[in-house]
Structure 1
Amino acid sequence: MREGEPSDRIYVVVDSSMISRCEWCGVMESESRRFCSTECAFAAGAPGMIPILMVGAVLSSLLILNVGQPTYMSTPGYLKLLSLVLPIPLLIMAIQGIEHRKSVPRNSRRNDAPLDTALLRTVSTSVACPRCDANMDVRGIGKDGVYVCGYCGATGTVAVIDKSEQRRSGSGGSI
C-alpha cells in the first residue's frame, strides 16, 4: 500500500450470542455443534464410558462362564462372541478420549485467538476483497485484522462488529 492511499476496510457483523464454544476445549464454534471435533466428543464422554465397559465385561464373563444358568441350558456361541465383540468399539473410544484429555486439557483453547478473529473464523471461511471480489481465506488474516488480497494485492483491515454488544450498549445504528 502506498503512502496516502486509503486502506480498504471490510466490515463483518457478527452476533456473538449465537456462537457457542466447544464443551471440551473451549474454542469458538458455530451454534449447530457441541464439540469442535470427534476427539473432543470422546474426551468429554470418556468418564461415562468406563462404567459401561465394566458392566459389559461382567455380563460377557457371565455369559461365557454360564454362571446362573441350569446345567441343561447353555448360551449359544454367537451370543458369547457378540458379548466379547460389542465392548471393543467403546473401549477404543474411551482410550482415544483419555489420550485426547491428556493432550488437550479442558478449556485450553479458550483464548487462542483474539475475540474479533475468533468470531470471524466461526462465521465464515472467506471474505470478499472490496476491489476485485476475490475470496480471501480467513485463516490468512493476521491477529491485527490486516488482510492482503492474493489476486490484486489490495491491503486493508477487517473490522468485526459484534451485534450483541451493540444491543447491550444501546447503539442501534446499522451498517
Structure 2
Amino acid sequence: MTATPGTPSDLAAVPDEELLRLDHQVCFSLHAASRAFGGFYRQALKDLGLTYPQYLVMLVLWEDGPQPVKAIGARLHLDSGTLSPLLKRLEAAGLVRRERSREDERSVLIELTDEGARLRERALSVPRGVLAATGLSVAEVLGLQKVLGRLTAALGEAVDAH
C-alpha cells in the first residue's frame, strides 16, 4: 500500500483494488501468525501434555487461583460450549477439579489439583521459549500486545455497534 496508515482519512487515498489484495488483509496476517503460533505451541506444550487452549486455562488458574467457569470463559473469550469439554479433559488428566458452588448451584468452580499446581514449574520455560522463537525483543512483543489489545477492543466495539 502506498498510503501510510494513521488516520481514517488515509483509507480514502488507497485504491479499492489495492485494499482487496490478500497481502494487504490484516486478518490474513493475523491468521498466518496465529497458525504459526499454534504450530510452535503444539511442540512447546507436548511435554506438558497440554493443548494450547488447555494451557490458557492453566495460565488463568495459576495466575488467579480457583475460578468459576464463567470467569475463565470471560478472561479467555471462550464460550461455555468450547470451555466445558476442555475442562472435562483437564479434569480427566488430574490437573483440575470441578465443583458446584455452594452459593449458586448454576455456577461451577474450577480449581487446580496438586498435580495441576506442580505442572506450573514445568511450564515456566514455555514463555521464554516463545519469546525467543518470535525473534522479537521484549519491547517489540509488549508493543505488539498493546496494538493487538487496541485492535481487539476496536473490533469488539464495531461488532457491538451493529
Instruction: State TM-score, norm by structure 2.
Output: 0.21
Larger Rg, first or second structure (1 or 2): 1
Higher normalized contact order (CA 8 Å, seq sep 6+, divided by chain length): 1
The structure where strand makes up a greater share of residues is: 1
The structure where helix makes up a greater share of residues is: 2
